[in-house]
Amino acid sequence: MPELPFSVRLTVPSEPQQVGAPVQVSIAVRNISDQPLWIIGVLEGSELGLRYPHYLPQITGPQPLPAVEIEYDMLAPLRLQDFRRLAAGESFDPTAQQNGEAYLPLYTFTNFRPPAPGRYELRLTLSTESTANEQWMGGWELPGKEQAQERLTLVPRLRVDSNVAVVMVE
């Protein structure tokens, strides 16, 4: 199997956390290839698998957590400014807006408040596997759609699983 050009790393506090308190989760998508690559951060629908790219968070712990409920009437269009060019070795937070991107937080992580003591494991899967443009573009069009579709051909198609980040809760 060929080596993947991206890695996904989750970072959480190393010290024990408190029941009911928010847990800081940092995300870094890194270009581990030897050439520049294009990628897209978390957009409307990415977290729920409604559109590509998929950013699918998972938290397991001593008891089941409630499902995150997010509703979208219509998914915003993919725009040229939503693409991020990463140089070889460069990383970025796919939830952080820096240059007008429409990136969103991952609500599963930002709303995570451990309900009970114990060990919690956090994972994130990034998928850019779809080659069908309509699965990326969103629900309505803006000028620049053709340019966005053209740039989309430069995004590597892959599935990457993050490390397992462990949070201990007292």
- Give the up-direction half-sphere exposure of residue 123: CA atoms within 13 A in the CB hemisphere: 8
- The answer to whether 18 and 170 have CB atoms below 8 angstroms apart is yes
Chain mean position to CA 59: 14
| pLDDT score of 138 | 84
Q: Per residue in 138-165, pLDDT tens?
A: 877 777 889 999 999 999 999 999 999 9
- The answer to whether 167 and 17 have CB atoms below 8 angstroms apart is yes
Q: How far apart are CA 70 and CA 45, in angstroms?
A: 9
Q: Per residue in 56-106, pLDDT tens?
A: 999 999 988 888 888 877 788 999 999 999 999 999 999 999 889 999 999
pTM for this model (two decimals): 0.94
Per-domain boundaries in the chain: 6-169
Q: Residue 1: is its pLDDT beyond 70?
A: no
